[in-house]
């Protein structure tokens, strides 16, 4: 644990967060953190099980005097998004997250922090280990693979939980109580293409887009931040209006749920066009930087010479795929007509890799309206089919319909006002939470999501606010004290 973290309160919570962050826990590579959590529950002599898909459930009896209260399920996901800056030397498979304190924030050095959802996991760990915190009977549910498909929640069977109330600790604003969320679907574009030999008098260039803000492809999609994949296509198309650039490779973005921050393309052009192309790219860079100066102040677009590629994309395929990427819907598709300020439907063009005669393009389409989600996903597929690519769907999950009349919503809203002398924002979010999926097998369970302030999730700028954790923690404890009795 970093020295500065040892001084933070509540000490047990931060200590558990540090223990968790020492474990590599990328989505779909959670074997180590699953075993860590099994060992944690077993050492406490609490009933601990792993279900068929890898979710871990730890149960703890009520403290004396609270046996007649409703059982509460505390739920968070074990996996985290592994993202790092291009110039950061870090191996997520073997290294623990390097944390530090800066002012009122805990941050990581050049990587994601894992506060999403590690602070929730650490909170539950602290409650399970405590001997001096009053609470009803608890069922701790640690799900896997939330970030890349929610397969843990999707695979959780009915009958494993007895709780009547679920507290999901995966919200990133401490004044919000979330009671609904969007569903999503993965759109994957694959295929192959032919290549051609480069002209003998050609020279090679690399065009790089970097320094973008990025962020969560659901929670941050309304902020109008630049998408590196869209920008690289825009720059290449601008060059194609005056020259004949031939593309070797396009490589941009990474995970579906992260707004892409970097992209590059390797191209070949006629040697005599070197200076004019460089001037055009620099002019285009200034135009784009001006457009995004408020959302992406560190955006940069550069061009440099490289070894001339030997082969490039077939000319017809290059023409079609570049325009299809440029035409792919990205960002907000429709705002909710029913809930003011809520993004209803969006798409994130998350990953573009065109290399070695193979296409790999990843999108994440979200909507709180399932029919509109599918309509937009199909629209994206139709576009890429026209370019000769092969689209497919996967990882579909449902949204979570809000139930503002639920007793837990009333209880926590009134408690928030009592403790903090302000109204909580009861809302739905344009992001994937596991509550909607869990509700399919547990339809009678009341659900609500809350948590401390986390900023920059899914990016190396991720940070969690110390004072907000110190606000959220007593709110969670007081909520557990006030859980009503069983009917």
- Per-domain boundaries in the chain: 3-182+399-481, 185-397
Q: In what order do the strands lie in the sheet with 56-60?
A: 48-50, 56-60, 138-143, 72-77, 165-168, 446-449, 176-181, 425-429
CB 189 within 8 A of CB 327: no
Residues 6+ apart with CB under 8 A from 91: none
Angle 77-410-423 from CA coordinates, rounded to 5° = 90
Catalytic, out of 79, 172, 173, 174: 79
Q: What is d(CA 249, CA 202) in angstroms, rounded to the nearest whole number?
A: 16
- Statement: 3-182+399-481 belongs to CATH 1.10.10.410: no
As given in the structure block, the two tokens for residue 326 are 């440029």
| Residue ranges for the chain with pLDDT beneath 50 | 1
Strand, coil or helix: 477: helix
Q: Which of 30, 139, 146, 170 is catalytic?
A: 146
**Count of positions (residues) in the chain:** 487
Which tokens sit at 157? 């069977």
Task: Please state, in angstroms and as integers, the Cα–Cα distance from residue 302 to each residue in 34, 232, 282, 285, following that order.
Answer: 43, 11, 7, 8
Kindly list the distances between the CA atom of residue 91 and the CA atoms of 82, 85, 94, 95, 413, in Å, as whole numbers in the listed order: 10, 12, 6, 6, 42
Q: Is residue 423 among the annotated active site residues?
A: no
Instruction: Name the token pair of 440.
Output: 């399919």
What does the angle CA 218 – CA 140 – CA 121 come to, to the nearest 5 degrees?
50
CA-angle at 277, arms to 275 and 281, nearest 5°? 120
Using DSSP bridges, classify how beta strands 425-429 and 446-449 pair: parallel, antiparallel or unpaired: unpaired
CATH fold label, 185-397: Alpha-Beta Plaits (3.30.70)
CA 463/CA 116 separation, integer angstroms: 9
286 half-sphere exposure, CB direction, 13 A CA radius: 5
Contacts for 403 with CB less than 8 Å, ≥ 6 apart = 179, 409, 446
Q: Are 202 and 298 in contact, with CB atoms under 8 Å apart?
A: no
- The rounded distance, in Å, linking the Cα atoms of 257 and 80 is 11
pLDDT at 386: 95
Residue 76, Cα to own-chain centre: how many angstroms?
14
In contact, 217 and 331? CB cutoff 8 Å? no
Which residues, in sequence order, are bridge partners of residue 348?
364
Q: What is the pLDDT of residue 2?
A: 54
pLDDT at 401: 84
Give per-residue burial for 106-124: e unless 16+ CB within 10 Å, then b: bbbeebbbbbbbbbbbbbb
In which residue are the tokens 């192959």 written?
A: 192
Residue 233: which H helix or E strand, with range? helix 228-240
Can you give the pLDDT at residue 339?
81
What are the beta bridge partners of residue 204? 268, 306
Written as six digits, the tokens of 177 are 């109580």
| pLDDT confidence of residue 148 | 86
Contacts of 228 (CB under 8 A, 6+ apart): 209, 210, 212, 252, 253, 260, 261, 262, 263
Query: Does residue 79 carry a catalytic annotation?
Result: yes
């Amino acid at each position: 644990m970093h020295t500065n973290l040892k001084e933070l309160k509540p000490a047990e919570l931060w200590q558990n967060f540090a223990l968790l962050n020492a474990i590599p826990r990328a989505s779909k590579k959670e074997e180590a953190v699953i075993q860590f959590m099994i060992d944690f529950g077993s050492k406490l002599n609490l009933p601990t099980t792993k279900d068929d898909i890898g979710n871990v459930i730890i149960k703890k009896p009520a403290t004396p005097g609270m046996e007649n209260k409703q059982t509460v399920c505390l739920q968070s996901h074990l996996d985290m998004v592994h993202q790092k800056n291009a110039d950061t030397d870090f191996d997520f498979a073997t290294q623990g997250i390097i944390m530090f304190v800066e002012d009122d924030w805990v941050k990581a050095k050049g990587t994601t922090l894992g506060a999403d959802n590690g602070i929730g996991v650490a909170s539950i760990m602290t409650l399970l280990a405590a001997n001096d915190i009053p609470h009803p009977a608890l069922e701790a549910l640690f799900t896997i693979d939330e970030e890349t498909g929610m397969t843990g929640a999707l695979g959780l069977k009915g009958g494993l939980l007895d709780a009547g109330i679920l507290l999901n600790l995966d919200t990133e604003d401490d004044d919000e109580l979330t009671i609904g969320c969007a569903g999503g679907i993965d759109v994957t574009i694959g295929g192959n293409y032919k290549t051609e030999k480069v002209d003998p008098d050609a020279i090679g260039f690399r065009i790089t887009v970097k320094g973008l803000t990025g962020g969560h492809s659901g929670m941050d999609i309304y902020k109008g931040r630049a998408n590196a994949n869209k920008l690289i296509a825009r720059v290449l198309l601008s060059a194609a209006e005056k020259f004949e650039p031939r593309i070797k490779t396009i490589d941009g973005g990474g995970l579906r749920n992260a707004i892409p921050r970097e992209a590059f393309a390797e191209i070949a052009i006629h040697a005599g066009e070197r200076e004019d192309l460089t001037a055009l790219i620099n002019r285009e860079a200034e135009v784009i930087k001006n457009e995004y100066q408020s959302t992406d102040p560190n955006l940069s677009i550069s061009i440099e010479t490289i070894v001339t590629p030997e082969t490039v994309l077939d000319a017809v395929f290059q023409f079609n795929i570049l325009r299809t990427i440029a035409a792919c819907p990205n960002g907000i598709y429709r705002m909710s007509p029913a809930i003011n300020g809520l993004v209803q439907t969006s798409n994130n063009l998350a990953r573009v890799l065109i290399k070695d005669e193979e296409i790999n393009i990843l999108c994440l389409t979200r909507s709180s309206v399932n029919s509109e989600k599918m309509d937009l996903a199909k629209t994206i597929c139709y576009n890429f089919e026209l370019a000769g690519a092969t689209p497919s769907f996967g990882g579909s999950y449902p949204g979570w319909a809000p139930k503002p009349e639920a007793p837990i919503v009333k209880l926590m809203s009134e408690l928030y006002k009592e403790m903090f002398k302000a109204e909580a924002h009861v809302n739905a979010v344009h992001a994937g939470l596991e509550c909607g999926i869990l509700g399919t097998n547990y339809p009678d369970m009341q659900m609500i999501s809350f948590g401390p302030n986390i900023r920059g999730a899914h990016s190396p700028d991720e940070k969690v606010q110390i004072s907000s954790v110190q606000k959220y923690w007593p709110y969670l404890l007081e909520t557990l004290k006030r859980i009503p009795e069983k009917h």
